Amino acid sequence: VGLIARGAAGLEAARRECETNGAERVATAQCDVADADAVFAAARALEAELGPPDVWINNAMVSVFAPTWEITPREHARVMGVNYLGTVHGTLAALESMRVRGRGRIVQVGSVLAYRGIPFQSAYCASKHAIQGFVDSLRPELLREHPGITVGMVQLPAVNTPQFSWVRTRLPRHPKPMGDKIFTPGAVAEAIVWAADHRVREVTVGGQAIKARIANAIAPGWLDHKLAAEGYEGQQTGESIDPGRWRDNVDAPLDNERDYGTDGEFGEEAETRVVLKAGR
């Protein structure tokens, strides 16, 4: 198993967890996926130690919670740099090795927000839409030139990672997932592994995500009005935050000195089983 991440402590903890769960060999590389040269260097270093990749999973993300006009151009660029270009860089690094061998599996961790943008997350939603377009263009190219290499995308629901305590926010209260369902990272990780093991085109995870995609396809205008009415309160808890003390991971990792694990603060609400809808 090869792992790439920014935060040293979080990366080391992930390495130990892989070993505890039976991985025979684990190698790590610390870098920011928005840096293309660093990603290629990390991929080559991991390949030199572990051998060529059979499966490559792209899963980096940052986000800014604010009205679109309050997100600065630099912040829009940074979110796109990590979420979208990080996916592009990882995919190109994987293809550098996979195209030589003519086989491999790439999995992009996306979101139901790749299909339906929501208030206060325009930068994040745009990045997930961009990944969707990138993958749609890549697939037929691979089918023509390298049919042994496949790309799948996993569209996630809300997941109880530390993300809601790490996003940059200009809202007055603590960010929370939109909707009434959130899932444990473990349950979602199993769905991602399933997508890696099967040559499916796309997997939508969770009943709420499936319903949101259907609603957006049938009545996007109605959904605009519903989100206008519910999207503000629906993405905040009742807990006020102090903007001067709030820390985010947009520009630098928060887990460089200390590992925070995989679970966020909505564990009591998080569900451990998910419904999958696979599309070919």
Nearest by Cα to 76 from 125, 31, 134, 132? 125
- CA distances to 33, 129, 166 from 42, rounded to whole Å, are 10, 26, 25
User: Is 124 among the catalytic positions?
Assistant: yes
> Dihedral sign, CA of 126, 160, 188, 32?
positive
What is residue 224's three-state secondary structure? helix
Catalytic residue among 84, 115, 124, 232: 124
Tokens of 162: 């530390």
Contact 18, 1 (CB under 8 A): yes
Residue pointed to by tokens 């319903």: 211
- DSSP assignment of 98-150, as one string? HHHHT-EEEEEEEEGGGT---TT-HHHHHHHHHHHHHHHHHHHHHHHH-TTEE
- CA distances to 4, 48, 91, 158, 217 from 162, rounded to whole Å, are 18, 32, 25, 12, 31
Catalytic positions are 124
